[in-house]
Amino acid sequence: MKLEVDGIRFSYPSEPVLDGITFSAGEGDIVSLLGPNGVGKSTLLKCINKVLRPPAEEYPSQGRTWRP
C-alpha cells in the first residue's frame, strides 16, 4: 500500500498550521516527522487519518482521493 499526500492545508481558527504539505511513502518505507513543538506534526497525522478535515481541500491518500 502506498500513502500519497498532496498539498494538505489546514488552519485552526487562530492560525494556519499546514500549508501545502506533499509527500509519499511506499510499502515498507519508514517515515518520521521531526520538528519543534507546535509546528503541525500531530495535525498532519490527524488530517491523514481523517480525524481533522482540511476545509474544501482534496488530497490523495492510500490510492484514492479523499474529500472532506
pLDDT digit string (tens) for the chain, length 68 residues? 788 888 888 888 888 899 888 888 989 999 999 999 999 999 999 988 889 876 654 455 555 554 44
Q: Which pLDDT score is estimated for 13?
A: 86
Q: Which pLDDT score is estimated for 68?
A: 44
Non-local (6+) Cβ contacts of 19 within 8 A are: 9
Give the rounded distance of the alpha carbon of 28 from its chain centre. Answer: 19
Q: In this structure, what are the phi and psi dihedrals at residue 33, rounded to the nearest 5 degrees? A: -110, 120
Q: Which pLDDT score is estimated for 7?
A: 85
Helix (H) or strand (E) holding 25: strand 15-25
pTM for the structure as a whole: 0.74
